Amino acid sequence: MELTPHQLKAHDGTDPSKPIYVAIRGRIYDVTSGKSFYGPGGSYCVFAGKDASRALAKMSKEESDVVPNLDGLTEKEIGVLDDWEKKFQAKYPIVGTVTSD
């Protein structure tokens, strides 16, 4: 399955009939089983329906960091992102990729 960023946004947990998705490095994970974290009001709800690569690398929950752009990240931050990606791969199914709008 391929989704544009606009289509991915529809999977942010606000519609209970749709699964919740978070993308990392363009790969979309179904995080619905972690609804208490990624659903509305959850501690990581800012990532839902988006590619959260930069925010995860920077350990940030700032809306402005919840983007796929990795430019200017340090080696340490890329390492942090690698760790997050491994955690997601172990815990959530990959359901597709993000394409450009």
The model carries a pTM of 0.95
Q: Is 19 exposed, middle or buried (0-12, 13-18, 19+ CB in 10 A)?
A: middle
pLDDT in tens, 11-27: 999 999 999 999 999 99
Per-residue pLDDT band for 100 (boundaries 50, 70, 90) equals confident
* Contacts with 27 (C-beta within 8 Å, 6 or more apart), sequence order: 94, 96, 97, 98
CA distance linking residue 101 with residue 71, whole number of Å:
20
Average pLDDT, the chain: 97
Token output for 40 = 């509305």
